[in-house]
């Protein structure tokens, strides 16, 4: 089924199987009327049906380019009038909502900073009460699925029925190759809780570099996302904001054409084979839990010994040795350093919690007091 059919069905908020993902594209920021129109015509010729552009740009520093403001809405209206594309922009407060609705914007999206603020979300939800318009909610800046879910629920309570989510990655303190590490387990959990929720991926903000767009887009398709929101600019190197993550319409078209789309239930699949493999996974998971239980019981025994010997819980040299040995063993088994480090840090944190409980006479593994042991 062609993308045009998706757009026709979009009014009913239906995503259907297609040879192409549902796609929203356009510049990070509307800069000039000429830039907006050039971008729109190039993207329309590339097959894009929904045009995005930031009019109001929330920025960390006050002297950064914060968007052209309301005048940009007239440019979006011209895009809609001349190209027939649907138009969408970000709203961060009630004023933005009212102006976007008056301008005939087809789809609204709520940005990551706004999603993290329940007061702002509630005000936007109240402003949209009784309005029949699709609204996408980007994940909050911090990796908190409940905060994301809460923003969606506030819109639902206001009577908004066509709500979707956009995964744009999360801010973390750890160094990463990504601008905003994806933490895929969080949107997966959101989808588990809201299985009918349309879910798009924003690889531009996750990667922060155009070189990562294709691989991130493919990952999203492999995880059965409904579509993509990608930033595109007619002259990316001279973009006024986020130049490094924007691509030309021609490059965008190549990225989309390169994607391999997989089916949830392809014909000819052997469910006997799949179930056998899943049975093995469940078996290994049970074995892992048994081993972790034994490890924590041993950690508690160490805690009791340290308490008797008046030793500190944390032994930095020992922890350094454990993590280095674990990384080396993980590499030999084809495990990434990031994965191994994350697993053992979590185990170490839980071991410290167990030993701390022992030291302070709190409940142990089985919920029994450790006093007097």
Q: What is the pLDDT of residue 256?
A: 94
The whole domain housing 321 covers 271-359
Q: Which residue has the tokens 């142990």?
A: 364
Query: 213 and 337, same structural domain?
Result: no
213 with 298, same domain: the answer is no
What pLDDT does 167 receive? 98
Cα of 99 vs its chain's centroid, Å: 28
The CATH number linked to 156 is 3.20.20.70
Q: At what angle do helices 145-157 and 118-128 cross, to 10 degrees?
A: 20
E strand spans, 73-201: 86-90, 107-110, 135-138, 163-167, 199-201
pLDDT tens digits, 88-100: 999 999 999 999 9
247 lies in some domain: yes
Where is the domain boundary, 230, 258, 286? 258
Q: Is residue 44 located within the same domain as residue 125?
A: yes
Residues of the chain with pLDDT below 50 are 1-11, 16-17, 364-373
| Buried-state track 317-346, b at ≥16 Cβ within 10 A, e below 16 | eeeeeebeebbeebeeeeeeeeebbeebee
For residues 218 and 176, state if they share a domain.
yes
Total tally of structural domains belonging to the chain: 2
pLDDT reported for residue 270? 72
Query: Hunting for tokens 């999206």 — which residue is that?
Result: 109
Q: Which tens digit of pLDDT belongs to each residue from 142-169? A: 999 999 999 999 999 999 989 999 999 9
- Domain boundary residue, one of 258, 281, 298: 258
- Residue 65 covered by a domain: yes
Please check whether residue 327 lies inside any domain of the structure. yes
Same domain, 236 and 109: yes
Q: Is residue 305 part of a domain?
A: yes
The CATH number assigned to the domain holding 331 equals 1.20.59.10
Question: Given 215, 237, 258, which residue is the final one in a domain?
Answer: 258
- Strand, helix or coil at 138? strand
* pLDDT score at 277: 84
Record the tokens describing residue 180, joined without a space: 């905003």
């Amino acid at each position: 089924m062609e993308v045009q059919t998706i757009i026709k069905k979009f009014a009913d908020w239906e995503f259907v199987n297609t040879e192409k993902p549902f796609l929203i594209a356009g510049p990070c920021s509307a800069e000039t009327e000429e830039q907006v129109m050039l971008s729109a015509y190039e993207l329309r010729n590339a097959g894009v049906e929904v045009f995005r552009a930031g009019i109001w740009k929330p920025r960390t520093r006050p002297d950064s380019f914060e968007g052209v403001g309301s005048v940009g809405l007239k440019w979006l209206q011209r895009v809609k009038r001349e190209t027939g594309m649907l138009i969408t922009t970000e709203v961060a407060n009630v004023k933005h909502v009212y102006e976007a609705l008056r301008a005939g914007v087809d789809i609204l999206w709520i940005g990551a900073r706004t999603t993290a603020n329940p007061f702002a979300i509630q005000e936007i939800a109240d402003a949209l009460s009784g309005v029949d318009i699709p609204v996408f909610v980007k994940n909050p800046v911090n990796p908190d699925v409940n905060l994301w879910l809460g923003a969606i629920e506030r819109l639902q309570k206001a009577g908004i029925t066509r709500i979707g989510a956009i995964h744009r990655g999360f801010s973390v303190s750890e160094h990463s190759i990504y601008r905003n590490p994806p933490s895929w387990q969080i949107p997966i959990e959101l989808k588990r809780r809201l299985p009918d929720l349309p879910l798009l991926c924003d690889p531009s903000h996750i990667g922060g570099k155009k070189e990562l767009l294709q691989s991130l887009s493919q990952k999203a398709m492999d995880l059965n996302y409904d579509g993509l929101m990608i930033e595109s600019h007619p002259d990316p190197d001279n973009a006024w904001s986020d130049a490094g993550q924007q691509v030309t319409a021609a490059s965008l078209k190549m990225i989309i054409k390169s994607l391999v789309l997989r089916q949830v239930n392809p014909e000819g699949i052997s469910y006997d084979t799949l179930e056998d493999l899943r049975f093995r996974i469940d078996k290994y998971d049970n074995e892992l839990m048994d081993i972790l239980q034994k490890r924590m019981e041993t950690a508690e025994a160490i805690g009791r010994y340290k308490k008797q010997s008046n030793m500190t819980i944390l032994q930095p040299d020992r922890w350094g040795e454990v993590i280095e040995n674990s990384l080396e063993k993980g590499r030999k088994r084809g495990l990434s350093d990031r994965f191994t480090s994350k697993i053992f840090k979590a185990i170490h944190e839980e071991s410290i919690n167990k030993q701390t409980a022992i030291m302070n006479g709190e409940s142990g593994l089985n919920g029994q007091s450790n006093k007097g042991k």
